[in-house]
Each structure stands twice: as C-alpha cells, then as structure tokens.
Chains A and B, each alone.
Chain A
Amino acid sequence: MNFHDHIDASLDGRLSPEEWAALQEAVVRDPELRREYVEKRWLHALLEAESERLPALLEEPSPPLETRVPSPFRPAAWLAAAATVALFGASLVFFFQSRPAPVVATLIEAENCRWAASDLPTVEGAGLSPGTLALAEGMATIRFHSGATVTLEAPSVIEVESAMKCRLVEGSVVADVPESAHGFTIDTAQMEVIDLGTRFGVTATPFGHSNVFVFEGEVKVKSGDAPEAQHVLAGKSLVSKVGAAPERTDQEVRRVEAPDASPGPGWTAVSTATGRGRDAYVRRGDSHGPTGAQALLMVKHTDLAPTNVRRAVLAFDLTGIDRAALRGAKLTLKIEPSGLGFSSLVPDSRFAVYGLVGEQAETWSEDTILWENAGPLVEETLSAATATRLAEFEIRKGSPNGLVETSSDALVEFLHSRPGEVVSLLIVRETGESDQQGLVHAFASKEHPTSPAPTLWLKTSGDQ
C-alpha cells in the first residue's frame, strides 16, 4: 500500500474508513511516515486555519457573492477577532458563534487601529460577514464584494449588512463606489444614502444627526419623513437632524460633537460642579465609604452579584435659572472606562434617569451617602413618593468612551415643578448582564481631572 498517496488523499477526504485506519496504524508504527504526515498535514492545517485570509494573501479580489456556494460552515476568523480585538480597556471579547454567515466584504486595511467590541474579525485581510465593527482609534478600509470601498475614521461604529449595504451607527466614513456597485447604500438613523456612481462621505453623531457630503458624482438621499429622495451633486452636502427633513448646508461636515460644546445660543449649562451641585454613587455592600470625592460615578445592575449593584445620584444647583421660561433640558454624561468587569458580558445597556421627589432630594450629602443610609433611593423598585422616572438612554455594548445625552418632556416638566433650587437625579442601570464579571459602567464626576462633569443643559430663551 502506498501510504505517501494516502496522506494526500486523507487531506481531501478521499480515503475509505479502512484506508484511514490503515494509515493511522502506519503513522503510529513508522517514524519516517509520521514525519511526512506531520509535514503535509501542517501545511494543510495552516491553509485551513488561515483560510479567511487567503484572498488577501493571494492579492486577489474575493470572488463576488453570487459565485459563493453556501457551504455548511465557514470557518470564522473569530479567533483572530477575539485575539486582536480589544486591548481596549478591560473589554475582552469572546465570540462563540460557530456558524457565521457568508462573507460579504473584506477588511483590506487596518493600520494602527484599536477596536472596541466588534463582532467581526479585525485583522487585515479578514473576511467580513454581516455584523458590527467598532473602531476606537485609527482608520480602516473595508472592500465590499460589490466593489465599493468604505473607509472608517475612528471613532466609528458600522454594521455590515450585505455586499451592497451598510449602516453607519455613528462616526464617519468615506465611500468610493465603482460602476459595478452603483446603488451601494449607506444607512444612518436619519437617512439612506444611495450611491449613483461617486465618492462621498457620511457622518452620524451619537445624537442622531447625519451629514452627507459628495466629493464626486451624485448620490440620492432618502429620509423616513421626506416624501421623495433628494439628489446631491458633487461639492454639495446635506444635513439631517432628528425629527427634521434633510436640508442643504454650506457648513463643514459635522463629525462628532465636542463633549463640552454648547448646543447653541440660548442654552445654559449647569453641572454638578456648579454652586451646591454634587455627585456620588452608592454600592450595595460597599465598604469603602462615601464616594463623593471620586472621579468616577459607577453604575451597575446585576442579579448575579448583588453586592456589586451601584447607582449614581446627582444634584444640580439651578439658582439663577428662570425655570418658568424653561423650554428644553437635556442631561449629558461622559462615559469613562471603569476598569471593572468585561464589556463582552454585558449586552447593550439601558439606563433610566429618575428625578428625586422625596425628602432626600434636598438633603443627601455626598460626604456621607452610602447604600446603607440611602434608604428609599436604593429600593429595588423606586416608589412614586421617592422618585419619578424621567428619561432613559442606552449605551451600546463595548462603548467605553463617548458622551451620553438624554432629554425628555418629563425632564423639563420635572425641572419646572420642583420647588427647591437644588434638584437631584438618580441614574440606574435597568438591564443586567450574563455573568457577574460584567462591565461596571462609569461616568465622569465633577472630580474627574479631564472629562466634563454631569451637566444639565437648559434652554430658557423664548424661541424654538
């Protein structure tokens, strides 16, 4: 029997079970054959292990989607993903899905990139199936199998949907679309940008504003509210704000709103550092004493490790604000890495903002407040006599930085109706986690050396 041929045949599944058994025995018996087997098998194993990178290694564009025969499995480049994904804060990301969807794009460039929790591989040359990429630092380029290339600038979060479509969650991208990919579409929360043969940039802020700027050619922009698509030609741009139809603009494309930028004329900022403002958090089972002087406000909800539950409480001094003329209000919080727990173990998280109405609203002190003396503030379900739920916000999985902004009519109403000059808000995470080592969320407090303190933005002027 020729075992040399058997080795090759075994790599391609061409041996009968009997032949395979015979080969195994021979390999165990014969050191020379064993050497040969390991050498041939190793090459085969390398090709299998790095299969996702082969198109890039062979410097050949990946074949178009249509010719891909659905195969029973697609060896995920998840391993590379998990390995290279995040040396990013303490977020450690494991991906245990084992049957990824078909590859629709390739990550062709990822220089000097740091990635936040992405569920797609983040090594150069990796094949991308539908999923999310969150770029924290650097620039990365994706080539869709339609031929369109999209360059992401950090910080950006993009969802790859198909060879012809992606969604920009936030951040900014530039798309270069050849003729073969006309109709390539980038969605944002506010609009749908459809390519008509062009190079264009799209941005989306965390607050839902979107811009499109056309460098060359033409795009078509649809938005949920507008009855018909608008065409945008080279050199022109379009801005779309929450709840408003897209309009043309001469302004520079807005990337990310600066954390401490005023939202505009007529707005006044009151932070927890203003006047009698204060901020602190309480942790059930905390033995470290009051947290009023700490730089981070930590918030967590979990049923798995009850002593780690944390809530943050904020007080704002509204002295001098004409609250009768209040037209708008929003709360901003700067997200900071807490260094505690793994973000991979916490899904997208929902937080609620409560307004305190009980006695404690006025009297709590950041020098003394603890879980054990916080009384009604730390009850599992807050009673109506203690607090009113005013607003909520979400922090996506793996966003260790960024600014949270939340507003609601209830918040304005609450600020109107509260009698005292100092109002207090309570921040509660409402969603839990899948493991007790899940992430502790943190926000900059007024003691934070570089990041802005929790801030209430108040609009009191008559217009709008």
Chain B
Amino acid sequence: MADSVQNTPSDPAERYLVLLNEHERALAAYVHALVPDRLDAEDILQSCKLTMWKQFAQFEPGTHFLAWARKIAFHQILNHRRSARRKPLYSAEPAFLEAVAAEIDRVSDSLADRSEALHDCLRRLPENQRRLVLLRYYEDHDIAAIAKETDRTEAAVYKLLSRVRAALNDCVKARLASSPA
C-alpha cells in the first residue's frame, strides 16, 4: 500500500490494531503456554506480531482472528526452537508442542474466558499469597530467591506456590461454571 490515498476507518492498520487489541491477551497466553522459557516467549510474541502485521493482507476478514494468529505463532515457536541461539532450560520437542497445541485448540473455548475470571480470583487471595504471586510472576523471582525473601524453606515455598496455583485454578473453574455462558 504505497502511500494509500486517505486514512479511512477501513485502514488496515486500524483494523489490525482493533483485532489485536481484542485477542492479544489470549495470544500471549498461548505463546507462554507453549514456550516454557519466559524470555523466549516474549521474544516470540514480538516477532509474531510483526509477522502477523506483514501477513495481515492474507487474513480474511470475518474469519477467526485468534485461530489465524495461533497458527502464525505456532510456526514462530517451531522456527524459534530451531534457530535459538541460547539453549533454554527446557526445550520442547516438536511432538510435545504439537500435542499441547492441539489440546489448547480443542479446549480453546473453555480457556477463552479464564483471563477475566483469573482477575477476580486474584483479588480474593489472602495477603501472603498475593505477595507470593507478585514475587513469582511480577518480580520473576525463582523459588530460591523467594525462599530467601520470605524466610521460608524452598520446599515450603514450592508447596505454597503449588497450592496458590491450585486454588486459583479451582476458583477460575468455579467462576466459569457459575457464570451464565
């Protein structure tokens, strides 16, 4: 689109941003779910967004944007795995990635609303568990660092963290089950 004539509401950039805005959290979760290394996941998301924009002309309006985006992301993940300069702690095998991606696609409807539900559930956590969530996910501390910071043993932190995640998962599922679809 070399110097297109006017900036109309049907501007592709605008359309793209509207769609991306709607689905970016789900896409981010998808990539994080498939890429164990958080740093890699962020890198992949970035290149994924660039690729999506470059290929946006091929996206058919009215079709499932997130499904299209996931396909692109999955390719990016496989590509990244091949080209990774840095060996992550856990690298995922292609067969494993495909199995997990297929499972995500299969249950994607039930995963779709989890973000909102999770927000509600986070607010209900008791104080010490909130702190743990912040240390682990916002500060990105590992278990050892959290143990030091909170004056607990690593085993205790690990157990507590597992329990917090289980509680959040139960809460999310309960909210989804109780909310009218």
Chain A residues with a Cβ under 8 A of chain B: 8-15, 17, 20-21, 24-25, 27-28, 34-35, 37-52, 54-55, 57-60, 63, 68-69, 71-76, 78-80, 82-84, 86-87, 89-90, 92, 94, 96, 98, 305, 308, 337, 339-342, 436-437, 440
Contact = CB atoms under 8 A, between A and B. Distances in A.
Nearest to A78: B46
A46 B17 contact: no
Contact of B143 (A12, A21, A83, A308): A12
Contacts of A35: 103, 107
A93 B122 CA distance: 31
Contacts of A73: 38-39, 42, 140
**Chain A to chain B: the 8 pairs with minimum beta-carbon distance, closest first:** A339-B7, A45-B32, A49-B28, A45-B33, A24-B96, A92-B13, A47-B137, A83-B21
B140 A76 contact: no
Contacts of A86: 17
Nearest to A68: B139
B151 to A, nearest CB: 15
Given A20-B90, A308-B2, 13 more contacts: A15-B90, A24-B95, A41-B33, A46-B32, A52-B138, A54-B137, A57-B123, A60-B130, A71-B140, A72-B39, A75-B42, A92-B53, A341-B3
Contacts of A72: 39
A73 B141 CA distance: 11
Interface string B29-56: 1111100101101110110011001000
28 contacts: A13-B142, A13-B143, A24-B92, A24-B93, A28-B93, A40-B169, A42-B111, A44-B165, A47-B118, A49-B32, A50-B25, A51-B138, A54-B122, A55-B138, A57-B119, A60-B130, A69-B141, A69-B145, A75-B41, A80-B24, A82-B49, A87-B14, A89-B7, A90-B7, A94-B53, A339-B5, A340-B3, A436-B2
B78 interface: no
A459 B168 CA distance: 69
B33 A38 contact: yes
B99 A34 contact: yes
A42 B13 contact: no
B66 interface: no
A308 B2 CA distance: 9
Contacts of B58: none
Interface in B50-85: 50, 53
Contacts of A8: 158, 161-162, 165
B114 interface: yes
Contacts of A92: 13, 16-17, 53
A50 B123 contact: no
Nearest to A127: B138
Given A24-B92, A42-B111, A45-B33, A54 B133 contact: yes
Nearest to B143: A12
Nearest to B89: A13
A220 to B, nearest CB: 35
Most buried by A among B3, B50, B96, B158: B3
A295 to B, nearest CB: 12
Most buried by B among A60, A71, A79: A79
A47 B139 CA distance: 12
Contacts of B130: 58, 60
B134 interface: yes
Contacts of A43: 114, 118, 165, 168-169, 172
A28 B136 CA distance: 28
B42 A98 contact: yes
A17 B91 CA distance: 9
Contacts of B145: 69
A76 B46 CA distance: 10
B20 A83 contact: yes
B24 A83 contact: yes
A87 B9 CA distance: 10
Most buried by A among B32, B45, B162: B32
Contact of A94 (B1, B50, B140): B50
B123 A51 contact: no
Contacts of B109: none
Interface string B106-121: 0100010011001100
A112 B168 CA distance: 31
B156 interface: no
A294 B30 CA distance: 48
B18 interface: yes
Contacts of B174: none
Given A69-B141, A90-B11, A10 B104 contact: no
Contacts of B11: 90
B128 interface: no
Contact of B115 (A50, A79, A87): A50
A42 B49 contact: no
Nearest to B122: A57
A339 B24 CA distance: 26
Given A80-B24, A90-B11, A342-B13, A440 B3 contact: yes
Contacts of A14: 143, 158
A38 B107 contact: yes
B6 interface: yes
Given A76-B42, A90-B11, A46 B139 contact: no
Contact of A12 (B1, B39, B161, B168): B161
B178 interface: no
A86 B16 CA distance: 11
